[in-house]
Chain A
Amino acid sequence: MSNQWDLYEVFIRSKNGTSHKHAGSIHAADANMAIDNARDLYTRRSEGTSIWVVRSKDITASDPGEAAALFEPAESKIYRHPTFYDIPKDVPNI
């Protein structure tokens, strides 16, 4: 077996006006080849108008073990949501 090629994560914009969304991953010898291969693998049925690829090892991800520390503080801050506030029904446009 030869050297294993780098793994790239593939992001696809389905149409202009939407953002790029993770579609999957692919192996390639370099970034251009990753784009070509991603075209063949993830857009065979007109699923995309633009492709981003990024080497998987260049992605820094949050640790699921720290999910509580990272995300729970937001759960108690319900005053950040509009439904937290009671406004009388007869007040218009708010």
Chain B
Amino acid sequence: MYTTDLRTKEQKQKDQREAIAQVGEDDIAFQARIDDDQFIEPKDYMPEAYRKTLIRQIAQHAHSEIVGMLPEGNWVTRAPSLRRKLILIAKIQDEAGHGLYLYSAAETLGVSRDDLVQQLHEGKAKYSTIFNYPSLNWADIGAIGWLVDGAAITNQIPLCRTSYGPYARAMVRVCKEESFHQRQGYELMMAMAKGSEAQKQMAQDALNRWWWPSLMMFGPPDEESTHTAQSMAWKIKRFTNDELRQRFIDATIPQAEALGLTVPDPDLKWNEERGHYDYGDIDWDEFWSVVRGDGICARDRIQARVKAYDDGAWVREAAEAYAAKQQQSAEVA
């Protein structure tokens, strides 16, 4: 997920040791406030490990929103109608907004925006693995809205009640805007699936390629995500990866059926007893190789970000010069 823990095992163990070393009386009072469902606000006491974990999680989430604009931006000039183009631009603009809400939330924890952006550009920061897959045909734009935004919504709704106030408030705003993203994607898939035979094939092909990566967005299975317990205790994570993944699958299968498309999983079937769908094995080797930066588009994504930033330098410089000049003439007057 945008917020999935993508640290290596060694890094996790190191962070864990540091966290354990520092439990004091304040920390006990802090945990009691969280257990009581109180929100933590920027100037309140918080354990260093909580602050660090949140900065990592929120920054990674912000980077995901920003990089997430790229696979879709790729199709703006090729949208098949003015209507679709307007919708796509509006959605992409929302994602930029989500990134900005989240960077602001991270800044309240004492990091600077410039540092966060720099970490992304230097390839030191992680973002969701999903955005390192290419968007190959127009139906991919539908599949992204339907599946990727759908998975993001599943993950983000519980985060509206996360314990850190600024993060929770950002999530409320994000969630209000996401539902349009998913619906426009599904509507696009509907148009393709009910269209010509070739269009239907494109829709099926997009589903085939985006299905598994979308399931991977929820992160590794619970038995491998050892840090879930701490994050759950801090209420910066409210459900486990597997719980959210199951919720997403259960919600999405009937939607695929309504499109007349087939999810590329021969093991998928309704389990009457569990009241959930059973699903096949996920290729976690692929997931970890994408985390490590082997995704097809990994290099392109960062290059595109850096280029956009560098190309905009003259605009920022002009704005700074203008602001300085305005201030000067205000002081003279």
Name A's B-contacting residues (CB within 8 A).
1-5, 7, 24-27, 29-30, 33, 40-41, 44-45, 61, 63-65
Contacts and interface: CB of A to CB of B under 8 A. Distances in A.
Contact of A4 (B97, B101, B112, B170): B112
A33 B113 contact: no
B316 interface: yes
A27 B106 CA distance: 13
B74 interface: no
Interface in B282-333: 313, 316-317, 319-320, 322-323, 326-327
Given A26-B104, A29-B320, A44-B93, 4 more contacts: A2-B313, A33-B323, A44-B97, A63-B43
10 contacts: A2-B316, A2-B317, A24-B104, A24-B170, A29-B316, A30-B326, A40-B93, A44-B90, A45-B177, A63-B43
A24 B100 CA distance: 10
B205 interface: no
A61 to B, nearest CB: 7
Interface string B68-112: 000000000000000000000010011001001100100100001
B41 A64 contact: yes
A1 B327 contact: no
Contacts of A61: 43
B323 A30 contact: yes
Contact of B107 (A7, A29, A30): A7
B323 A4 contact: no
Contacts of A45: 177
A7 B110 CA distance: 13
Top 5 nearest A-B pairs (CB, nearest first) are: A30-B323, A29-B323, A29-B319, A1-B114, A25-B104
Interface of B is mostly: helix
A3 B45 CA distance: 30
Nearest to B173: A24
A82 B258 CA distance: 58
B118 interface: yes
Interface in B124-141: none
A26 B100 contact: yes
A8 to B, nearest CB: 10
Interface string B174-212: 000100000000000000000000000000000000000
B223 interface: no
Nearest to B117: A1
B44 interface: yes
Contacts of A1: 114, 117-118
Contacts of B94: 44
Nearest to B108: A25
A66 B169 CA distance: 24
A86 B218 CA distance: 57
Interface string B34-56: 00000001011100000000000
Interface in B156-179: 169-170, 173, 177
Contacts of B327: 30
A27 B113 CA distance: 9
A40 B94 CA distance: 10
Contact of B100 (A4, A41, A64, A65): A41
